[in-house]
Amino acid sequence: MNVQSKPKLGVAMTGYGFMGAAHSQAWRVAPRFFELPVEPRQTVIVGRNAKRVEEARIKFGWAESSTDWRTVIDRDDIAVVDICSPGASHVDIAIAALDAGKHVLCEKPLANSVEEAERMAQAAQRAAAKGVFAMVGFSYRRVPAITLARDLVAAGRIGTLRQVRALYLQDWLVDPESPMTWRLDKALAGSGALGDIGAHAVDAVQFVTGLSIESVSGIVETLVHERPLLGESIGLGGTASTERGTVTVDDVALFTGRLTGGVLASFEASRFATGRKNAFRLEFSGSDGAIAFDFERMNELEFYDTGDLPPEQGFRRIYATAPEHPYAAAWWPVGHGLGYEHAFSHQVRDFLVDIAAGRQPHPSFDDGLQVQRVLDAIETSSAAGSIWTETQRAETQRD
């Protein structure tokens, strides 16, 4: 399709921090490497601080900046709203955007509570009936090696799935004097390690296996209860402060789960795993083989086949950069690996292809709600002394 003839989709994005940077990169790059049926335009970036959002506009390549998301949503030239702002903002922005007829891409976790996520899923269902769609940004689904793992499991290459292990380990909070951020405030973030990185582990396990977590038993713990406030948190313009704030989210979450059909899974999410910067590891053990993935080697997938001759048995490395591997054909010659940011470009690609085709993108808001119910069940289990807690699984559509 000629670029000039492609429908133009104006995009508005809320938030300009870490995720805002990653999403901006994706909106800029995806149309240049994938043949898309529509042309996205980085129309408006929105944030509360006028000076900083304007600086982000220039840095990230947006046409305009604004401090009022409500006004932006009302604009006729905006077709997509991308929500990268803190979790507390998701529910109001997403529902307003969907009710205004805008497609929505929303960062994970979907909301700060099950009740908010239910309202968002209901809004998405109303919008879908009118051809307007919503998707949750679980970007790790779009890492080629993880997508390949899903394909291998679906093809029966490891036989009957028996056990799953998932760990997501970081250490950026190990220092007790690291300052407070919005991610440590339950009112803004909803939860800590559980929702921030544990949600990725939950979604990735369900995505690769095609199964749902039906019950959990878990422990969540806050290890450092007070941290210094940055000056900007109390109106001092970013200068140092002797005041301290209360951490109201978890630092570590440990939980086990039962998936559909009785498959057992164990999970760990920690921002106190000393020495681990972004160690996201998945293992899937089956009757005929096994698969292992480690994000610290994100282009690789380990595959074990019990059908190999005994002298040859062992995990083999699949370097997921060949044109036959998911998404890889759009990028570099075989062997030239991809990075963290590429998953976001793949996310934009899939989102826009589905929108143009008039079909529901995945993960849907229903999928996001199901993950939210798992997170809530883990917190409930921990509060009750680690009893098994049903996730009250909603009916969801799966890829």
Q: How does pLDDT run across 253-302, given as a tens digit for each residue?
A: 999 999 999 999 999 999 999 999 999 999 999 999 999 999 999 999 99
| Whether the Cβ atoms of residue 49 and residue 235 lie closer than 8 Å to each other | no
Q: What pLDDT does 326 receive?
A: 98
pLDDT category at 393 given cuts 50, 70, 90 is low
pLDDT category at 391 given cuts 50, 70, 90 is confident
Which residue carries 């998701």 as its tokens?
A: 90
Give me the half-sphere count of Cα atoms (radius 13 Å) on the Cβ side of residue 327: 26
How many separate helices (H) and strands (E) can be counted in the chain?
Answer: 11, 17
Question: Rounded to the nearest 5°, which phi and psi values hold at 271?
Answer: -110, 20
pLDDT category at 385 given cuts 50, 70, 90 is confident
Q: What is the mean pLDDT of residues 165-183?
A: 97
**CATH 3.30.360.10: which residues of the chain?**
140-390
Q: What pLDDT does 382 receive?
A: 95
Give me the half-sphere count of Cα atoms (radius 13 Å) on the Cβ side of residue 4: 0
Q: What mean pLDDT is reported for the chain?
A: 94
Q: What is the DSSP string of 323-391?
A: TTSTTGGGSSSTT----TTHHHHHHHHHHHHHHHHT---SS-HHHHHHHHHHHHHHHHHHHTTS--EE-
Q: What is the pTM of this model?
A: 0.93
Contacts of 350 (CB under 8 A, 6+ apart): 142, 361
Q: Is 324 exposed, middle or buried, given 0-12, 13-18 or 19+ CB atoms closer than 10 A?
A: exposed
Q: What pLDDT does 397 receive?
A: 44
Give the residue among 78, 214, 205 at the shortest CA–CA distance from 153.
Answer: 205
pLDDT category at 317 given cuts 50, 70, 90 is very high
**How far apart (Å, rounded) are the C-alpha atoms in residues 389 and 295?**
30
pLDDT digits (tens, 9 = 90+) for 231-249: 654 343 445 467 999 999 9
Q: What is the mean pLDDT of residues 16-43?
A: 98
What CATH number belongs to 140-390?
A: 3.30.360.10
**CATH 3.40.50.720: which residues of the chain?**
3-139
pLDDT category at 73 given cuts 50, 70, 90 is very high
Which of the 8 DSSP states describes residue 34?
S
**Token pair in block for residue 4:** 């000039």
Instruction: List C-alpha distances in Å: 204 to 3, 135, 214, 283.
Output: 35, 15, 15, 11
| Whether the Cβ atoms of residue 257 and residue 216 lie closer than 8 Å to each other | yes
pLDDT digits (tens, 9 = 90+) for 175-211: 999 999 999 999 999 999 999 999 999 999 999 999 9
pLDDT digits (tens, 9 = 90+) for 103-151: 999 999 999 999 999 999 999 999 999 999 999 999 999 999 999 999 9
Task: Evaluate if residue 361 carries a pLDDT over 50.
Answer: yes
Q: Which CATH superfamily is domain 3-139 in?
A: NAD(P)-binding Rossmann-like Domain (3.40.50.720)
Task: Evaluate if residue 4 carries a pLDDT over 70.
Answer: no
Q: Cα angle vertex 349, ends 345, 352, to 5°?
A: 135
Give me the half-sphere count of Cα atoms (radius 13 Å) on the Cβ side of residue 34: 25
Task: Evaluate if residue 337 carries a pLDDT over 50.
Answer: yes
Q: What is the mean pLDDT of residues 363-369?
A: 98
| Whether the Cβ atoms of residue 171 and residue 178 lie closer than 8 Å to each other | no
Q: What is the mean pLDDT of residues 327-356?
A: 98
Q: What is the DSSP string of 214-257?
A: EEEEEEEE-S--EEEPPGGGGTSTT---S-EEE--S-SEEEEEE
Instruction: List C-alpha distances in Å: 47 to 61, 83, 102.
Output: 15, 11, 19
Amino acid at 41: R
